[in-house]
Structure formats: C-alpha cells, structure tokens
C-alpha cells in the first residue's frame, strides 16, 4: 500500500493475474513471485500466507475503479438517475470485457466460492450501491412492497451483470461479432428503456398469494 513498497504492490498485481488465470488452488506462489520479480519467499515474507495474499488481492481489486461517484446530481428525476445508474453499472461491467482480464475472473470466482473477502466487498461496495438503486425504484413505484422492489432491482442488476457473467456462453451462442455489436451505448439505452417501460407498465399483484391473477392482468 505504501508508495515506498513497490515489491508488495507488484506482488498483488502479479497475484491478481495468477489467481484469476488459474484459480486459488492452481495458482503457484513461485509463478507469482517470478512475475513480480521477487524472491520465492517474498509472499510468505510480506503476507505470511498464500491465503492472506489472496484476500488482500481480492480486496484490492474492488478498491480500484471504485472511487467514481454517481455521475449525476441527486436532484435529478428518478428516471434520469436510473439511466445514469445503469449506464454507470454497465460501464464497469463492460470495462473489463476482456475475458482474460484478471479482475473479471477474480470477481466471478468470488461469486462461486465466496471467501471472507466477499463479506467486505458486500458491506463496503455492493450494498450501498444496491440501496441507491432501491431508492430510485421506490420513487418510481412508491406503492410497491419490499419484495417487489427487490425483484425489480434484481431484474435490472441481472440484465447488466449478464454481460459480465454470461459473456463466454453468449459469445458462443450468437457469435463474437454479434456480441461485439452490443456496445455500451446501445446496451445502456436498451436496458434503461426496457426496465423503465416495464416498471411503468407493470401491474403489481396485490399479494404474493395470488400471482396468477396478476399474470392474467398483464394481458
């Protein structure tokens, strides 16, 4: 973390690549140290443990690129703020579009096998963001019950996240060129319009016990 401790920083950098490429178990401490131009014992010296290095690496990953603030004022209308939220979210998702990108893989790994690092990330990064999204949705549909708001939020988040998580499969399904044409601008517009149209047009079922009448009501 110190400016004056480049070895430590280089180790985290190298560890990120290695962990993302190989996973925790398959990652080799020797390889990490060689990539970082450090000694074999450097990891144990600086972090004490391979696992400790992993945790610090994961935390460091989310620390980067997170300093960005919401790109529009709080006084804007909920629709504008939702569009801004989606655009911002998608930008982050697509920014690491390269499947070789180690931050990409490292975070997906955390989804599968959440470690202690995940808890930190949820508390410091993810939940605040989620709460902001919930605020916007509540403004748009104040009468919606909490559960419905959660589902709405997940519908939005899911649409965005798919372009990170589903990329390898989606690319194989519709072809690389087809996938490439789905750029940030288009997707921001698409998901925003899709979601706002849905949010405005949906009729919420009065209670959870009777979803079918609501479904029929859509028609």
Partner DNA sequence: AATGAATGAGCCTTCATTCAT
Partner DNA sequence: GATGAATGAAGGCTCATTCAT
> Which positions from 134 through 193 interact with a copy of itself, judged by CB under 8 A?
146-148, 150-152, 154-155, 157-163, 165-166, 168-170, 172-174, 178, 181-182, 185-193
**Tokens 């935390």 sit at which residue?**
59
Options 119, 124, 139, 206; binder of a copy of itself; rule CB under 8 A: 119
Residues 6+ apart with CB under 8 A from 99: 105, 167, 168
Question: Could you tell me the smallest distance in angstroms from the CB atom of residue 137 to a copy of itself?
Answer: 12
Give the Cα separation of 50 and 60 in Å (integer).
15
Subset of 43-62 contacting DNA (CB under 7 A): 43-46, 48-51
Question: Could you tell me the smallest distance in angstroms from the CB atom of residue 48 to DNA?
Answer: 7
Q: Decide: is 36 part of the binding site for a copy of itself (CB under 8 A).
A: no
Q: Decide: is 51 part of the binding site for a copy of itself (CB under 8 A).
A: no
Q: Which two tokens stand for residue 193?
A: 């319009």
Options 31, 80, 132, 138; binder of a copy of itself; rule CB under 8 A: 80
- CA 34 to chain centroid, in Å, comes to 30
Residues 6+ apart with CB under 8 A from 208: 147
> Nearer Cβ to DNA, position 44 or 118?
44
Helix ranges, the chain (H): 6-26, 29-35, 42-47, 50-63, 78-95, 102-112, 116-121, 127-140, 146-165, 167-174, 176-180, 184-201, 211-218
Options 12, 14, 15, 38; binder of DNA; rule CB under 7 A: 38
Which residues contact DNA (rule: CB under 7 A)? 6-8, 27-30, 38-46, 48-51
């Amino acid at each position: 973390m110190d400016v004056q401790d480049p070895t430590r920083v280089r180790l985290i950098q190298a560890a990120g690549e290695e962990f993302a490429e190989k996973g925790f178990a398959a990652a080799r401490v020797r390889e990490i140290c060689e990539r970082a131009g450090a000694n074999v014992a450097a990891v144990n010296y600086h972090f004490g443990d391979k696992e400790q290095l992993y945790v610090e690496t994961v935390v460091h990953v989310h620390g980067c690129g997170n300093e960005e603030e919401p790109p529009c004022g709080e006084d804007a209308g909920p629709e504008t703020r939702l569009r801004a939220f989606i655009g911002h979210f998608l930008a982050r998702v697509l920014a690491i579009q390269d499947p070789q990108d180690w931050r990409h893989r490292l975070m997906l790994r955390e989804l599968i096998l959440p470690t202690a690092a995940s808890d930190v990330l949820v508390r410091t990064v993810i939940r605040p963001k989620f709460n902001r999204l919930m605020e916007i949705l509540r403004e748009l549909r104040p009468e919606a019950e909490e559960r419905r708001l959660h589902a709405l939020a997940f519908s939005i988040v899911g649409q965005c996240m798919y372009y990170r998580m589903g990329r390898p499969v989606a690319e194989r399904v519709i072809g690389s060129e087809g996938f490439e044409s789905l750029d940030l601008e288009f997707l921001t517009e698409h998901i925003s319009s899709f979601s706002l149209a849905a949010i405005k047009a949906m009729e919420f079922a009065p209670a959870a016990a009777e979803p079918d009448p609501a479904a029929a009501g859509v028609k």
